[in-house]
């Protein structure tokens, strides 16, 4: 099977890479990454995978399947177009908006599957397959890889626990402008090591401000790695706001504190006053109620911890092709076609 991994944003790299690894494990597949040059000027996997920045090359590749964690895939590409999502944030209803670009929605767990089955019945031009989310494959295979590094950091800094701060980049939702001094207080009063991992799309001003904070405090580290999953595995708990990484942390059965989350019914501890952070820190490690809420998330959002999500996706596409063949393009209205071309450009269909 010819597989196109459609990588529009930097956060998509470690969502798509488990599919590359599974295709390599299975053998018999040809994989090409399309990497959006403007948004990803330096591709982290360069030299390790086959990729192109040229949409014409992606078109000429003539894929059998296209996997995308974004909202748009050019309609003129061949192949079964598969939405594999970029996270779990169910309160962001935008992820349930049908934009008509996809032939398949590969859902993370029962909660999402139920929503998309309702939409499938309404629209009738796509299929839904529950597979689990690709990043859980990486987690399943590397869950214990960083235990030595974690123990070294705890020993070096003389800390009781490691806390991860991973906020959203959205200016209207981010805790970055309000929480800095409360984080410093937490580090000092609770004897924790704070790892700061900002979203790749965070504005430069905030990034520079928090990078500077790390230089001023020996128990605050600023992490530049593009992947947040490693730090979730190392940390004992996470502080955030409205980032989809909240759910990934809950799926690890680890506590989360948010500041001013937009979620109407959070399955974690939310505070609306930064002065409450230290008290909330103590509470989340002791609360049985919060523990039960995490268990509900695990069962309903993504129970697939077997490391086989990518295999289910590849098998699902193969089954779709057996039943329907390989689509030569996706039928769209003129507005959707225009948006597709505006975002990714035209191609020469006769090259």
User: Residues 6 or more apart from 339 whose CB is under 8 A from it?
Assistant: 72
Helix (H, G, I), strand (E, B) or coil at 105: strand
- In this structure, the answer to whether residues 325 and 281 fall within a common structural domain is no
Contacts of 248 (CB under 8 A, 6+ apart): 87, 88, 135, 139, 228, 229, 232
CA neighbours within 13 Å on the CB side: how many for 280? 24
For residues 259 and 208, state if they share a domain. yes
| Residue count of the chain | 351
Are residues 164 and 297 both part of a single domain? Answer: yes
Count of domains for the chain: 2
Q: Considering the domain boundaries, does residue 139 fall inside one? A: no
79 falls within a domain: yes
Q: Is residue 113 part of a domain?
A: yes
Cβ 340 vs Cβ 147: under 8 Å: no
Indicate whether 326 belongs to any domain.
Answer: yes
HSE (side-chain half, CA atoms, 13 Å) at 281: 25
The verdict on residue 93 lying in a domain is yes
Whether 247 maps to a domain, the answer reads yes
Q: Quick one: 313 and 325 in the same domain?
A: yes
The reported pTM is 0.85
What is the domain range of residue 64? Answer: 2-133+305-344
Q: Are residues 149 and 296 in the same domain?
A: yes
Per-residue confidence of the chain (351 residues) as pLDDT tens digits? Answer: 999 999 999 889 999 999 999 999 999 999 999 999 999 999 999 999 999 999 999 999 999 999 999 888 999 999 999 999 888 866 565 667 788 899 999 999 999 999 999 999 999 999 999 999 999 999 999 999 999 999 999 999 999 899 999 998 888 899 999 999 999 999 999 999 999 999 888 899 999 999 999 999 999 999 987 678 899 999 999 999 988 789 999 999 999 999 999 888 899 999 999 999 999 999 999 999 999 999 999 999 999 989 999 999 999 999 999 999 999 988 888 888 888 898 899 999 875
Q: Is residue 349 part of a domain?
A: no
Backbone angles phi and psi of 310, in degrees to 5: -65, -35
Q: Is residue 266 part of a domain?
A: yes
Q: Are 339 and 72 in contact (CB under 8 A)?
A: yes
User: What is the largest distance, in Å, between two alpha-carbon atoms of the chain?
Assistant: 66
The verdict on 278 and 311 lying in the same domain is: no
Tell me the CATH number at 267: 3.40.50.2000
- If asked whether residues 106 and 176 sit together in one domain, one would say no
Same domain, 152 and 280: yes
How many angstroms separate the CA atoms of 348 and 73, rounded?
17
What is residue 195's DSSP assignment? E
Q: How remote is the C-alpha of 24 from its chain's centroid?
A: 22
Are 30 and 75 contained in the same domain? yes
Report residue 76 as tokens: 């003129």
- Torsion (CA) 174, 189, 164, 168 in degrees, nearest 10: 0
Residues 167 and 195 in one domain: yes
Instruction: Identify whether residues 219 and 337 lie together within a single domain.
Output: no
Show the tokens assigned to 335. 């507005």
- Clarify whether residues 201 and 95 are in a common domain: no
């Amino acid at each position: 099977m010819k597989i196109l991994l459609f990588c529009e944003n930097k956060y998509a790299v470690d969502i798509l890479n488990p599919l590359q690894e599974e295709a390599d494990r299975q053998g018999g597949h040809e994989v090409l990454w399309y990497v959006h040059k403007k948004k990803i000027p330096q591709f982290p996997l360069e030299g390790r995978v086959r990729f192109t920045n040229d949409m014409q090359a992606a078109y000429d590749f003539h894929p059998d399947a296209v996997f995308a964690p974004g909202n748009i895939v050019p309609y003129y590409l061949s192949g079964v177009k598969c939405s594999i999502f970029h996270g779990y944030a169910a309160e962001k209803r935008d992820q349930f908006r049908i934009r008509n670009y996809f032939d398949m929605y590969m859902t993370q767990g029962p909660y999402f599957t139920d929503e998309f089955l309702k939409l499938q019945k309404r629209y009738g031009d796509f299929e839904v397959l529950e597979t689990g989310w690709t990043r859980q494959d990486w987690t399943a295979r590397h869950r214990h890889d960083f235990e030595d590094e974690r123990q070294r950091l705890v020993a070096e800094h003389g800390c009781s626990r490691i806390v991860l701060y991973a906020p959203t980049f959205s200016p209207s939702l981010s805790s970055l402008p309000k929480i800095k001094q409360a984080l410093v207080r937490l580090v000092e009063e609770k004897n924790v090591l704070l790892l700061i991992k900002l979203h790749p799309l965070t504005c430069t001003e905030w990034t520079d401000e928090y990078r500077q904070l790390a230089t001023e405090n020996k128990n605050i580290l600023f992490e530049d790695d593009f992947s947040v999953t490693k730090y979730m595995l190392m940390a004992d708990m996470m502080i955030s706001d409205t980032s989809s990484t909240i759910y990934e942390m809950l799926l690890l059965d680890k506590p989360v504190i948010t500041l001013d989350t937009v979620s109407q019914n959070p399955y974690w501890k939310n505070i609306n006053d930064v002065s409450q952070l230290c008290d909330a820190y103590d509470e989340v490690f002791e609360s049985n109620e919060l523990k039960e809420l995490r268990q509900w998330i695990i069962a309903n959002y993504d129970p697939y911890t077997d490391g086989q999500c990518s295999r289910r996706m590849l098998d699902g596409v193969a089954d779709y092709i057996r039943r329907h063949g390989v689509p030569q393009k996706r039928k769209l209205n003129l507005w959707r076609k225009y948006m597709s071309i505006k975002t990714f450009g035209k191609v020469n269909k006769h090259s």
